[in-house]
Structure 1
Amino acid sequence: MRATVWHGKRDVRVENVPDPVIQEDTDAVIRVTSSGLCGSDLHLYEVLTPFMTPGDILGHEPMGIVEEVGPAVTGIEPGDRVVVPFQIACGTCWMCRKGLPTQCETTQVTEHGMGAQLFGYTKLYGAVPGAQAEYLRVPQAQYGPIKVPQGPPDDRFVLLSDVLPTAWQAVQYAEVPKGGTLVVLGLGPIGAMACRVARHLGVEVVIGVDLVPERLERATHDGTVALDLSAFDSPDDLVAAVRDLTGGRGADSVIDAVGTEAHGSPVAKFAQAATGLLPRSWAERLNETAGIDRLSAFETAVSLVRRGGTVSVSGVYGGAADPLPMMTMFDKQIQLRMGQANVRRWSDDILPLLTDDDPLGVDTFATHHLPLDRAPDAYAMFQKKEDGAIKVLFQP
């Protein structure tokens, strides 16, 4: 089959690899019909390279048709149309029963002290072959795949693999009070969808911050108050503008949908780039003990939120020695929530919205539909934020 394969920093290729097969009784194999390119994939393309191995298959946002199931798999059968959550979980352990499949005790990558396995990610999360491919082996298929109706185009459902539950969890974790104000930092796929989810759930004022014109225009069209980061001379000016919109106190809640590759952190950016030049074993050890993130988005979130407010982090961070503004966070009495989205925790709430009149606008959310062979170009385009790329879907 054809698959998107990682070979090094900014080096992904579409190559022929062996077809997946059933290995465990709880496996399934699906024929992928759509697979997303995620902002988290860009971290593998640029920052988290020490934890990757040449030959790793990328991608974690698939849907498709079930081709084969193991003998222990019930609930789905060949011919069914399914969306596959990006995390791999059993559904029956203590963590899964608590609504935390990202912490599944059956698939935790204990040798690295990490949570549940993820498709198409680093060895810290099991290095499970990913979904930017023609076929995908799905472990724990007795629980993970979500059966969806036949008929509507893939765009209606594919975002249920990651974008929708990640945005939904970010808004839920933000705990915006009735009549309150939410700021969303970063209007890429997760931030843009978080704005839509927040408005759908009744948040009265949603403010989105970015510096890409196409993203700001789209947010404005969605009813978000869009602020162009490049229009402010300093972070203090952005804070002042948000306070002007929030009665002088700041936002009740802030979502950081940016993560480790934020703009405005030159020292951390240099450190990340320098780590990429080290031998792999050295770079891996350094990241595990002294890795740092570009924290400008998180620090901005702390500045923007009102005293007693909540910061919800959905952007991916990977540092081990980040200098957090602890004094400010403590003084402002900020609540902080974060983590990978627990897809099956939220999917039952979201799925009804995908079978009616499309209130979240998923049918037109993707900006690019490309054949899988265009994956190298798509990664470069998405990283550089060219051609209005907000959400890319591959169609193998």
Structure 2
Amino acid sequence: MKAMVYRGPYKVRVEEKDIPRIEHPNDAIVRVTKAAICGSDLHLYHGLMPDTRIGTTFGHEFIGVVHEVGPSVENLKVGDRVMVPFNVYCGSCFFCARGLYSNCHNVNPNATAVGGIYGYSHTCGGYDGGQAEFVRVPFADVGPSVIPDWLDDEDALVMTDALSTGYFGAQLGDIREGDTVVVFGAGPVGLYAARSAWFMGAGRVIVVDHLEYRLAKAREFAHAETIDFAEHDDIVVTLKRATDHLGADVVIDAVGAEADGNLLQHITAAKLKLQGGSPVALNWAIDSVRKGGTVSVMGAYGPLFSAVKFGDAMNKGLTLRMNQCPVKRQWPRLLEHIRNGHLKPNQIITHRIPLEHIAEGYHMFSAKLDGNIKTVIEFDAA
């Protein structure tokens, strides 16, 4: 099969790999029909995540058609059109039983926090991802769901991570009717979080970024007010002035570890392969939320020490909520919103490319060229 393969920082290409095989009776092999490049893939692309091994295939957002099933798979059959959450999880451990699928205890021997993630380095279990013509899907009776006939492929695709994560970010904010919500970051997750805030009763939504084309999309898609932080000496002061000098009720950090990497990360990456992320966005969130408010953290952070203003958060009486999204928990409500016409998720997709152009796709997304917000990888129909 053809697959995207990592060959080192800023080096990805399409190569021939063996089609994955059934390794466990509850595995499925899925023929990928669409995949996507996620902002968190850039941490891998830049060589800033630990244990990203040469030869790995990235991609944790993908849908496809069931090609083969293991002998104990009961819920799927060959030919089913399925969407696969980015979480690899067993469905039966202590954490899965409580709906914490992203914290599964049985799928990742390399970490005590996060569970398994497709195509996201061996710190997340070492599972090859879906930027390939075929992918092995463990626990096939647990994770994948058959895509409803009425649901568009691209809408299903973004439900596998970006849309579900954005919705989860708004959910963690515990938004109450009339709340002012600030979202840092106008990438796909931030856009979906801002749009979702309205569903949860927000009275005002403000999106902060520094790229005009992304802010324009926030105004168009998320119906949000926007602020370009590059145009202000102190974004925290600007946000305080915009909120009666109290601060927002809820702030969502949809930036996390800066995808470009800060100077320290680039200096240390070659030897340490660590990316904890600049704490700038999170500290802005802590400073710009009101006392007693809530900060929801959706941005991805790695293991390196970050100088977060935890004392300020404590003294302001803030509630900090965060996790990797347990994707499948969000699907029932999101399907309702989409089917009722309240949301058309694929409106944020800006680019569609064949797998053969994956290197150009990563470069375009990384360098923020051509107004790129979300790139879908399309595969030849078999």
TM-score class, shorter? over 0.9
1:276 pairs with 2:259: no
Change (3 A) 1:156 1:293: closer
| Deviations 1:208-263, CA, capped at 9 Å, x for gaps | 00111111111112310011111112x3xx22222232222000010110011178
1:379 pairs with 2:362: yes
Once the two structures are TM-superposed, the CA of residue 111 in structure 1 deviates from its matched residue by 3.6
Report the residue type matching 1:232 in the other structure. H
Q: How many residues align?
A: 378
| Deviations 1:16-55, CA, capped at 9 Å, x for gaps | 1111111111101111111010011001111534421100
**Structural mapping, 1:1-396, within 5 Å:** 1-107=1-107, 109-150=108-149, 152-222=151-221, 223-233=223-233, 235=234, 238-261=235-258, 269-278=262-271, 283-284=272-273, 287=274, 292-357=276-341, 359-396=342-379
Q: Supply the distance in 2 between the matched residues of 1:110 and 1:123 (Cα, whole angstroms).
A: 9
Change (3 A) 1:86 1:292: closer
Report the residue type matching 2:61 in the other structure. E
Q: Supply the distance in 1 between the matched residues of 2:67 and 2:216 (Cα, whole angstroms).
A: 41
Secondary structure of 1:302's partner? Answer: helix
Higher mean displacement: 177-186 or 343-352: 343-352
| Deviations 1:165-203, CA, capped at 9 Å, x for gaps | 101110011112221110000000100111111123321
User: What is the TM-score when the length of structure 1 is the normalising length?
Assistant: 0.92
Report the residue type matching 1:385 in the other structure. K
Once the two structures are TM-superposed, the CA of residue 204 in structure 1 deviates from its matched residue by 1.3
- Structure 2 gaps of 5+ residues are none
Secondary structure of 2:149's partner? Answer: coil
Structure 1 runs (4+) deviating above 3 angstroms are 150-153
Q: Determine what percentage of the aligned residue pairs are the same residue.
A: 37
Q: Supply the distance in 1 between the matched residues of 2:316 and 2:242 (Cα, whole angstroms).
A: 19
Report the residue type matching 2:368 in the other structure. K
Report the residue type matching 2:194 in the other structure. C
Change (3 A) 1:292 1:59: closer
On the 8 A contact 1:26/1:73 being kept in 2, the answer is yes
Q: RMSD in angstroms over aligned alpha carbons?
A: 1.6
Once the two structures are TM-superposed, the CA of residue 351 in structure 1 deviates from its matched residue by 1.9
Higher mean displacement: 123-132 or 346-355: 346-355
Q: Supply the distance in 2 between the matched residues of 1:20 and 1:321 (Cα, whole angstroms).
A: 37
User: What is the TM-score when the length of structure 2 is the normalising length?
Assistant: 0.95
Change (3 A) 1:21 1:65: same
Q: Supply the distance in 2 between the matched residues of 1:165 and 1:145 (Cα, whole angstroms).
A: 14
Once the two structures are TM-superposed, the CA of residue 293 in structure 1 deviates from its matched residue by 2.1
Q: Supply the distance in 2 between the matched residues of 1:45 and 1:203 (Cα, whole angstroms).
A: 36
Structure with greater helix percent: 1
On the 8 A contact 2:175/2:200 being kept in 1, the answer is no
| Deviations 1:54-113, CA, capped at 9 Å, x for gaps | 000110001011111112112211111110000111212221110100111221x23433
Once the two structures are TM-superposed, the CA of residue 114 in structure 1 deviates from its matched residue by 3.9
Secondary structure of 1:157's partner? Answer: helix
Q: Supply the distance in 1 between the matched residues of 2:331 and 2:151 (Cα, whole angstroms).
A: 18
Q: Supply the distance in 2 between the matched residues of 1:201 and 1:49 (Cα, whole angstroms).
A: 34
